[in-house]
Amino acid sequence: MSKQTYRVCFCCRRRFKLPVSEAPPEIKALFDHYSENNGFMTAAQLRSFLLEVQKQEKATEEEAQAIIDGLQHLSIFHRRGLNLEGFFTYLFGDSNPPLSPSLGVHHDMTAPLSHYFVYTGHNSYLTGNQLSSDCSDVPIITALKRGVRVIELDIWPNQAKNDVDVLHGRTLTAPVELIKCLKSIKEYAFVASEYPLVITLEDHLTPDLQAKVAEMVTQIFGDILFSPGSEECLKEFPSPESLKKRIIISTKPPKEYLEAKDVKEKGDETHKAKASGDEEAWGKEVPNLKYSTLADYKNNVDEEVCEEEDLDETDKSHHNAAPEYRRLIAIQAGKPKGGIDEYLKVDPDKVRRLSLSEQQLEKFAVTHGKEIVRFTQRNLLRVYPKGTRIDSSNYNPLIGWMHGAQMVAFNMQGYGRSLWVMQGMFKTNGGCGYVKKPDFLLNNFPNNGVFDPKAKLPVKTTLKVTVYMGKGWYHDFRHTHFDQYSPPDFYTRVGIAGVPTDTVMKKTKAIEDNWLPTWNEVFEFPLTVPELALLRIEVHEYDMSEKDDFGGQTCLPVSELINGIRAVSLHSHEGDKYNNVKLLMRFDFL
């Protein structure tokens, strides 16, 4: 056998061999501190550990004994208590997560809808990119199963003009029938959450087809449809609690399309508005094109036109808009005439929904940050991805959240760090899709002031994170996935997604050639706005010659992190939890 052949065989043996998982030194030291000299931890000693290290103030000796009894099926069980292996197994087990499963829905759910961040989808029917992917009810179902509470549908006349399709207009996206989407929404609306589901409609229909939509919606949803019964705006939004298992329709009332048309025809006024810096004057005509290439789409997309205000030839016939359709609209959307100052005016007698693109929000946040916060105390603000995100990528949701925007709309069919942050935020409050906004975004300050998103704030708390070790890749990945001839070289990235002052990423050293990497590294994160902070965790495999390989991720809301040593499950790019991949970490608030 040649030297080269021998070396390959030796490396293959290394690659497939899994070393015994051992507790890192810090875990051994804790076990020694809380156990007896005979090497076993009694229920009383385990309770002391739960109280002092895990900060479980209500832990009882009976609960500690139940943990010990739960390990009876393992050979490590001993009636005198846990040995080191049993203690290590408990810490790394599914019963020791970083977020408490017992919390469930624990936020006050009786405030108006405007007091909550809501898990919101954008173009919820698309299976892939924004230009040429198929439209389907499948991504809608997937989103609903994950707890998404706002589904967006673009509705257009079908080719025969006698029925209604859902598609991304003027692109090559293949349509799906509206009725199919509505039936799937009814079936899956409340499988993940019993709190209200909002359907936002981007309407491009003639009055006769609006009437048809009204009939469909009424017949399919029946009594679960929340309808105010009149064409008037609500004076205040109802609460999520009062709307449990109800479906809500939100769109721009048809008469407002007509008003937008009228503004467009006043050419002199529009010109003046543009000249004075109002870059989003109503009535910009969107070419009635069908974009056949990515280049065409990017060249023609107008970033400053709100997608819900696109004008269509059908608008000419909205003089006779179907009254039954108008009455279905519980949350009215649209912009008043004028610029940003008019958009953000707060009416004490009615509430509404405003939509801004991510770029518009960034621009207006510079000059009108406090006004946006004030607007969102009573009204709903929806933020949607800019038009050039053809690949269905997303943006930083914190910009919207720190200004009080309830509906930060995301493309749920893709993946990426922004979407991981979104998924992390909505693990809060039992994963019900509604997260109560922090008090500072809802309260008025002295002299009728509101929170200033640009203000420099003091540090409220410091999160100390210890990354001990990881395991599970050997079982969840092909053994050649990371490296052809040797075990992987893992490192962990850990950091904060939050307001700009708090946002940071750090990383551990890479541990070479080990399926069970032990890092034992400590990081501290000072937080000025812990209420909006999310802990980002990623594992990668270092590759000297190519791009580092992905090894898992998760994002955890800091507001619900449990103190102590916890087993943190990692997820795939798409957000699906791996069967075995976990990190052992410790969280302490200083």
Q: In CATH, what number is assigned to the domain containing residue 66?
A: 1.10.238
* Domain contains 2: no
Residue after which a domain boundary falls, among 410, 443, 476: 443
The last residue of a domain, from among 419, 443, 467: 443
Q: Are residues 410 and 515 in the same domain?
A: no
Q: 151 with 238, same domain?
A: yes
pLDDT of residue 316: 44
CA distance 131 to 293: 8
Q: What is the CATH number of the domain that holds 525?
A: 2.60.40.150
Beta-sheet pairing, 197-203 with 247-251: parallel
Both 218 and 145 in one domain: the answer is yes
Q: Is 575 left (phi over 0), alpha (psi -120 to 50) or beta?
A: left
Is the same domain home to 468 and 580? yes
Q: Please report the DSSP string for 338-358 in residue order.
A: SSHHHHTPPPTT---EEEEEH
Q: Which long-range contacts (CB under 8 A, 24 or more apart) does 72-80 make?
A: 78/40, 80/38, 80/40, 80/42
DSSP assignment string, 5-59: HHHHHHHHHHHH--PPP---HHHHHHHHHHS-TTS-B-HHHHHHHHHHTS--TT-
User: For position 73, what pLDDT does the model report?
Assistant: 67
333 and 477 part of one domain? no
Q: What is the pLDDT of residue 379?
A: 97
Q: How far apart are CA 118 and CA 406, in angstroms?
A: 6
Contact between residue 561 and residue 585 where contact means Cβ atoms under 8 Å apart: no
Is the domain of 325 the same as that of 464? no
Which of 503, 564, 544, 451 shows the shortest CA–CA distance to 54?
564
User: Domain tally for the chain?
Assistant: 3
Same domain, 356 and 239: yes
Is 170:288 a contact under the CB 8 Å cutoff? yes
Q: What pLDDT score does 8 carry?
A: 42
Range of the domain at 497: 458-590
CATH of residue 262's domain is: 3.20.20.190
Residues 142 and 214 in one domain: yes
Q: What is the pLDDT of residue 414?
A: 82
Q: Is residue 108 in some structural domain?
A: no
What integer pLDDT is reported at residue 422 of this predicted model? 98
Q: Is residue 3 part of a domain?
A: no
Is residue 490 domain-resident?
Answer: yes
Residues 439 and 468 occupy one common structural domain: no
Residue 245 in domain: yes
Q: Which of 443, 477, 494 is the last residue of a domain?
A: 443
Whether residue 355 sits in one domain with residue 504? no
Give the residues of the chain that fall short of pLDDT 70.
1-20, 73-79, 229-232, 255-320
Asked, for residue 63, whether it belongs to a domain, the answer is: yes
Active centre residues (catalytic): 122, 168
Amino acid at position 458, single letter: P
338 with 283, same domain: the answer is: yes
Is residue 101 assigned to a domain? no
Does residue 540 sit within a domain? yes
Q: Are 69 and 20 in a shared domain?
A: yes
